[in-house]
Structure formats: C-alpha cells, structure tokens
C-alpha cells in the first residue's frame, strides 16, 4: 500500500515538473502471450468504463496470421529501414516519407500496438496515449520502460477497456505501446515525457498511423491521460507541422480536431503565435483542452503539495466546455445528472479543475492527510464526465465537418 501511495504521489510530482523540452483483419486468434489487438470495422462492442482509478483485468488477443501487418515475426523495439522509406499511396491521400530515428520502436510490427483499427468504419480517428502503468526496478526499464514489459502492456490494455466506450463512440481508435518515462525504479530519474524515448515513440507511432491508415484523408482527435497527455500536448502544440514533412504538416493542422489532455495541470498558456489554441467553447476545433480534478477545499494546499506548478493557465470545465472560472452545477449539463459530484469550476491560478462534493466528509481527506504529494481525483478525469466527453466529441466533429467538408 505504501508503495502504491508513493507511486501515485510521485506520478503527480513528475507530471508537475515535466518540462516541454524539444528534443483489423476480421479474424481473431486468442493468445495469452500477446496483449495487442488489431480490430476490424465490425468491432463495435463498447463496455462501460470504470469510474475507479484502479485498472480492471481484461483478456488479450492478437491479430490473426492473415493480417497484412501482423505477418512480421520481428519483436524488435527499433524501427526497420523499410518503415522509414517512402510508401506507395493507393488511396489518393498524402504520402508520409519522413524517416524516424533508428532507435524508435518499430510500429510496422503490430505487436507494438494495443489497438490498431486496420479497417476503419468511422469518418474520424482517435489516437491515444496511456498513463504511467508500471513501477520497475529493472535496469532494462530505466529510464524508460522496455517496450516489451508485460506488466506495462497488461495495464495498458486494462486502461483501454475502461475508456473504450468513450473513445469508440465516434472514432476509430489507435493505441500504441510506447516507452514511457519510469521515475520509480532505482536509477530511473531524469526521464522526460516530452522528449527522449517517450516523445520519440509518440511521434514514430503517430507517423506510422498517418502513413499507413490516415494519409491525410480523415480528421483525428488526440486523447491522453496523465503521463500520456504530455507527449500529445507537445505534439499538438509544436510537432504536427513537422511530422511527415511540410505538406503533410499543413494537413495535420487542418485535420486535428481537438486534443483532450486529461489528468495534467495546464502546461502554460499557449502563445498567440502558435498555430493551435486552447479551447474556450464546446465546439472549437483545431484546439487543446485540459483538466485535472481536485476538490474545492484543496485550494488551501500549497501548490507543491498538490503536485502542480505555481504557473497559471486556462482550464477546461467539462460540464460546460468553457474556461471561465465560475462555478457550474452538474445539472447545467443534463448528460451528467447521475454523477457523484455537485459541480466544478476552473482554477486558473494552479491550472486545475476544482470539483465540489455532493456531501462533504466529516474529515477532509485532502492535502493534510498522510505524507507525500496529494493527487485529488486523479484517475477520474474521464469517468466523472464520460457522457459529456462523448457528446463533446460529436459536437466538435460536426463543427469540423461544417468548416472543412
């Protein structure tokens, strides 16, 4: 229990202190030795996501041997030479020919994807990155987790099962395994979430998706939670223009509907010169949104105790999808009438979302309780607002269609 609490505490600190440095075939085969799955357009099952931050167990499947991309027998974590060469375009879309570093994970190997929709049935895609999923003292997991770490992969698949209902409601999902920063093992300090191996894999996997599936033909959304939100924010703010070259970069900017960066404090206000803005309305497009829930009473905590930086920034309120700092009741959004909280307000001073309980506990379990860094409602960022997020995706897709189609 102490180790788990330390993990949660240190994770929040890691998120807060992270710098923004540069740097399906239709057949299925059950196989407990692999946790990746390639899905076809007929995969419409959407189990309810859990409101708990604890990951639930899930079975694992892998692509059938008939799948075109799954024919590779390689388990290498590095990119093959062929994956960085120019690919033929059979669908009339843009061709991505920009090479990736030789040290990047090989995403032509379908075993390096948790979810990969080979035959997309929807008009929109969603690209996902998962939260911190392991604590490892192994040398091979320092400072970044080994791409083949089975504990990480199992946790990733369970996390996806929690959010599947949300991310598949309106989009075709893509979830790569990436070498996430591991700050919890001996000698693992110093890893960056927006640089190094984590960012390298985020870009390499997104590039592979663009090159082999999207080809500039469909709009996409980005969604991450906790550590997974950091590379996606960095990519949306600073990297979309350079992935696959100038021509593809311009198309990426147009096709980027929204980034949902959940479970992290706002990085900072986005400069006016940037090609992406922070969303201020429910139907803004080509924008970033972000929220990280704490209780209202937590404003009495020091920013260091909350694990956030004393840097102000806009915060999305998923009740109204505005960034005003007014308190909004959950009843203002009829989709959220079954929720366990009463309302929420954006708190720009610390870049977090403050939620109000329906019933205040006799003893506040907030920052004064226990040791380490307090993380508020970390883990409930999606589940507290599940129905509103699903509707918001629909609203933004409709706004994108109205502008570009």
Residues 369-390 have pLDDT tens digits of 555 566 777 878 999 999 999 9
**Of 26-40, 254-268, 336-350, minimum mean pLDDT range:** 26-40
Copy the structure tokens of residue 259: 């980034």
CA distance 351 to 364: 22
- Closest by CA to 262, choosing from 337, 352, 354, 396, is 352
Q: What pLDDT shows up at residue 127?
A: 98
List, as one string, the DSSP characters of 240-307. TTTTT-HHHHHHHHHHEEEEEEESS----PPPTTSSSEE--STT--SEEEEE-EEEGGGGGS-HHHHT
Give pLDDT, residue 363. Answer: 57
Structure tokens belonging to residue 386: 């599940």
Give percent above pLDDT 70 in the chain: 69
Q: What does the chain come to in residues? A: 405
Check pLDDT > 50 for residue 362.
Answer: yes
Q: Looking at residue 376, what is its pLDDT?
A: 73
Chain centre distance of CA 116: 15
pLDDT in tens, 42-67: 333 333 333 333 333 333 333 332 33
**Residues 145, 147, 150, 153, Cα dihedral to 10°:** 100
Residue of 207, 184, 181 lying closest to 195 (CA atoms): 181
* 258 confidence band (pLDDT: 50, 70, 90): very high
282-339 per-position pLDDT tens digit = 999 999 999 999 888 777 776 666 666 666 789 999 999 999 999 999 999 989 877 6
Higher pLDDT, 7 or 144: 144
Q: What is the mean pLDDT of the chain?
A: 76
- Tokens in use for 349? 């001073």
| CB-CB neighbours of 85 under 10 Å | 9
């Amino acid at each position: 229990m102490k180790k788990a609490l330390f993990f949660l505490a240190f994770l929040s600190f890691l998120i807060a202190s992270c710098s923004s440095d540069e740097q399906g075939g239709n057949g299925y085969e059950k196989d407990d030795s692999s946790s990746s799955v390639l899905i076809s357009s007929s995969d419409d099952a959407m189990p309810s996501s859990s409101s708990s931050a604890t990951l639930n167990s899930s079975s694992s499947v892998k692509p059938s041997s008939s799948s075109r991309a799954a024919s590779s027998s390689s388990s290498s974590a590095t990119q093959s030479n062929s994956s960085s060469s120019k690919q033929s375009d059979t669908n009339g879309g843009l061709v991505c020919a920009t090479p990736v570093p030789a040290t990047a994970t090989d995403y032509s190997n379908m075993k390096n994807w948790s979810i990969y929709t080979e035959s997309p049935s929807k008009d929109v895609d969603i690209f996902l990155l998962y939260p911190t999923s392991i604590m490892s003292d192994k040398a091979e997991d320092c400072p970044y987790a080994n791409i083949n770490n089975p504990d990480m992969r199992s946790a990733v698949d369970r996390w996806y099962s929690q959010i599947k209902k949300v991310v598949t409601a309106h989009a075709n999902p893509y979830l790569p395994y990436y070498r996430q920063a591991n700050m919890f093992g001996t000698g693992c300090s110093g890893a960056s979430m927006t640089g190094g191996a984590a960012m390298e894999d985020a870009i390499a996997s997104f590039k592979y998706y663009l090159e082999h599936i999207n080809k500039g033909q469909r709009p996409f959304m980005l969604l991450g939670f906790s550590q997974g939100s950091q590379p996606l924010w960095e990519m949306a703010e600073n990297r979309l223009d350079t992935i696959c070259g100038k021509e593809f970069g311009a198309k990426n900017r147009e096709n980027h509907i929204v980034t949902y960066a959940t479970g992290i404090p706002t990085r900072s206000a986005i400069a006016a010169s940037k090609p992406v803005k922070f969303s201020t309305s429910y139907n803004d497009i080509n924008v970033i949104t972000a929220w990280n829930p704490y209780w209202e009473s937590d404003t009495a905590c020091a920013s260091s105790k909350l694990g956030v930086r004393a840097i102000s920034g806009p915060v999305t309120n998923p009740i109204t999808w505005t960034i005003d700092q007014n308190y909004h009741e959950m009843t203002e959004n009829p989709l959220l009438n079954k929720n366990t909280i009463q309302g929420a307000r954006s708190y720009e001073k610390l870049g977090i979302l403050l939620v109000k309980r329906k019933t205040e506990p006799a003893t506040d379990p907030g920052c004064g309780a226990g040791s380490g860094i307090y993380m508020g409602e970390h883990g409930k960022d999606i589940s507290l607002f599940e129905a509103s997020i699903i509707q918001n995706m629909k609203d933004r897709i409709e706004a994108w269609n109205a502008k570009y189609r």
